[in-house]
Amino acid sequence: MEVSLIKIWVFYIFLWFSYKCSSLPLCTNLREPVKQNKALKFCEYNGTMCCTSSQDSGIEKRFQAMNISNDSCGAVIKSILCATCDKYSAELFKVKSGARPVPVLCEANAPAVKLSSISNPGNSNFCSEVWDSCKDVSILNSPFSPSLQNKAGVTQNSSASKLIDLWNSKNDFCGNFGSPSGGDSVCFDGKQVELNETEKILPPEGMCLEKIGNGSYLNMVAHPDGSNRAFFSDQPGKIWLATIPDIDSGGVLGLDESTPFVDLTDQVHFDTNFGMMGLAFHPKFAQNGRFFASFTCDKQTNPGCSGRCSCNSDVGCDPSKFKTPTSTSPCQFHTVVAEYSANGTSSAPSMATNANPAEVRRIFTMGLPYKSPAGGQILFGPEDGYVYLMIGDGGNEGDPLNFSQNKKSFLGKILRLDVENMPSEKEIDDLSLWGNYTTPRDNPYADDKDMASEIWAYGLRNPWRCSFDSERPSYFICGDSGENAYEEVDIITKGGNYGWPMYEGPLIFTRKDTPRNTSAGSIDNLIFPVVGYNHSEVNKKTGSASISGGYVYRSNTDPCLYGSYLYGDLYGENYWTAMENPKDSGKFTSASLPFACARDSPIQCTTTPNSPLPAIGYVFSTGQDNKKDVYILTSTGVYRVVRPSRCNYTCSKENATTNAVPSPPTPASNSRYIRPYCTVALLAFSLFIL
């Protein structure tokens, strides 16, 4: 019996790690593939791809330089070179684990596991075909040299090589180049990767909520120690440490507002638009006690609120001539990211129930051009350990100075910062940085003199609540609030341009005081939202809409929601679920998600007049605890997603999961320090079943 349970656990762990390795379409530079209007001439790829026409020409020149005399060999080598244009080329070339000179070639007999959701149904013996076609053919600068294994981009000498001269046998060759080694899911069969179509996914019948708290909070962060605790913060600037009751226990949120974890209200400028906008705890907080707050300050009342103005010569903006709707000069208010510490308040940071309100260091300060919302959420990347800072376009109607598209401005951007390695005094003094951080070397514009190196993505209006999928961290999803017509959900990728203010979601945006924007179609590599909604579709009473981004639901509490992205509207009358189909495709369809309050909710929900809907109020934000249960933070309290049957919703999967094997434990969240989990999991599983 014990051995059987161990086998089940190992099997689940294996599946969990294998699934975590899969990802959405990405190019070898980890950027989003783009839709090309014309098919490539040489590689003949069409639709969404990772190559431009100039790159296609470069591949053709490389192929011609190989001087391959055999047509059959030439055909397979051409397809291999062109695989860099495939929209799944990052997976094909295993970029995240060290890029290869050629893609992983499909081979039926190789000892590897392929996941059905993304496996290629084409030629499963393609590696053998390459060997049989090319083993006796001379190839100049052969990409199959043993010295090039895991060394993409290395150029060898121009001597001709035959596969039979480089490798001992077909088995030897395909043992190195064949099948998805390491348990990943994509291999190359000579054609563009196509996902297996899955069955039609039906939306859940509804979402059941229970109310566990009465407070109004803007941020929720699960305690990094993995316990049943979480931090909550409000807009005025207080942070609390709360204990979360078990589901079905009838308990309420253990939070005493009279004793905050830390009170930063004397540093935070709070009004309708401003306040403490973001909260993040270092992944190793339990050891180092470091945490970070993002807030707005007022330099007229706070002497420590001094920083560079976002209206400056670098972005072509003159502060002396700048006029805002409320004043004659910009940058009275600043966006700040500051670091604090819980060290010294208890025997260990994980045991701390309060923290020092004195700032340890100022990470980032930037003056804002207008007195309007400017984003401000901060997150630690689960794979890289870097800080992601979401910043809005500054707030004036239509982004009249095009800050979001300005390559030097931080407005309308997502920044990616390293807070582990502090900069030199010179770097800070010469204004090359905006605070105490360094720029990661793999940022998309780290070496681009025309683009600010801190920028990870741009062309956003007001990214309001972003999250990483806990099972597939490459899915970095943001709700971006629109202005006149459309609210959007975007998958954020390296260097992505999301179109604002030329586009509002998929719609060309036209400012009231300017003619139709004729330059919108010329934006390079524009990425459109995966789902969204028109203002006309929602909140007919208020006539308004503003998206509040959410999470990909990964809890077993409601199995019918599992894998769906949940998001709502500020006005609390509408919720949606976005479902990906096929899996790993990055393609989503959305459906309206009815919601109700559990009849046995620990705190009774009020109802909307003349409606069965609970009156949850304004939806400010969404949270997730260490068990992956999802919480909705509103103006009337804290709500948690619970079993659908508690609201009389039918979910056929609910009973089936009642006695299921527990979910495997989540590994340390900062895998910047634990990289090779996919290979290790597969190795452990392989050894176990032998």
- Count of positions (residues) in the chain: 690
Look up tokens 């793999």; give the residue.
442
In a domain, 118, yes or no: yes
> Is residue 179 over pLDDT 80?
no
Task: Tokens for 484, please give them.
Answer: 């006149």
The pLDDT of 652-675, averaged and rounded, is: 47
Residue 388, beta-bridge partner list? 379, 416
> Is residue 671 over pLDDT 60?
no
Look up tokens 């790690």; give the residue.
17
> Is residue 230 over pLDDT 70?
yes
- Phi and psi at 41, nearest 5°, equal -75, -45
pLDDT of 596-608, one tens digit each?
A: 999 999 999 988 7
What pLDDT shows up at residue 523? 66
pLDDT of 278-306, one tens digit each?
A: 999 999 999 999 999 999 999 999 988 98
Query: What separation in angstroms does the CA of 376 have from each of 296, 466, 469, 545?
Result: 9, 11, 20, 20
pLDDT of 608-620, one tens digit each?
A: 776 667 889 999 9
Q: What is the mean pLDDT of the chain?
A: 84
> Is residue 5 over pLDDT 80?
no
> Is residue 117 over pLDDT 50?
no
- The larger pLDDT score, comparing residue 543 to residue 338, is at 338
In a domain, 42, yes or no: yes
Q: What is the DSSP string of 439-479?
A: --TTSTTTT-TTS-TTEEEE--S-EEEEEE-SS-TT-EEEE
Identity of the highest mean pLDDT range in 143-157, 565-579, 599-613: 565-579
In a domain, 88, yes or no: yes
Could you tell me the residue range of the domain that residue 8 belongs to?
A: 2-183
In a domain, 115, yes or no: yes
3-state SS track over 67-120: CCCCHHHHHHHHHHHHHHHCCCHHHHCCHHHCCCCCCCECCCCCCCCCCCCCCC
> Is residue 17 over pLDDT 70?
no
Q: Is 139 helix (H, G, I), strand (E, B) or coil?
A: strand
The pLDDT of 193-214, averaged and rounded, is: 86
What pLDDT shows up at residue 341? 97
- Residues contacting residue 271 through CB under 8 Å, at least 6 positions apart: none
What pLDDT shows up at residue 4? 42
- Residues contacting residue 67 through CB under 8 Å, at least 6 positions apart: 138, 139, 140, 160
pLDDT of 343-365, one tens digit each?
A: 988 889 999 999 999 999 999 99
- Residues contacting residue 539 through CB under 8 Å, at least 6 positions apart: 545, 569, 571, 573, 574
In a domain, 637, yes or no: no
> Is residue 114 over pLDDT 60?
no
In a domain, 63, yes or no: yes
Query: What separation in angstroms does the CA of 391 have from each of 287, 338, 462, 480?
Result: 29, 15, 7, 11
In a domain, 117, yes or no: yes
In a domain, 573, yes or no: no
The pLDDT of 114-136, averaged and rounded, is: 70
The CA distance from 262 to 259, in Å, is 8
Q: Is 243 helix (H, G, I), strand (E, B) or coil?
A: strand
The packing angle between helices 126-134 and 170-177, to 10°, is 130
The CA distance from 248 to 227, in Å, is 18
The CA distance from 355 to 345, in Å, is 6
What pLDDT shows up at residue 149? 54
Q: Is 47 helix (H, G, I), strand (E, B) or coil?
A: strand
Q: Which burial class, exposed, middle or buried, applies to 10 when counting CB atoms under 10 A from its CB (0-12, 13-18, 19+)?
A: middle
The CA distance from 261 to 220, in Å, is 13
Number of domains present in the structure of the chain:
1
pLDDT of 457-508, one tens digit each?
A: 999 999 999 999 999 999 999 999 999 899 999 999 999 999 999 999 999 9
386 pLDDT tier (thresholds 50, 70, 90): very high
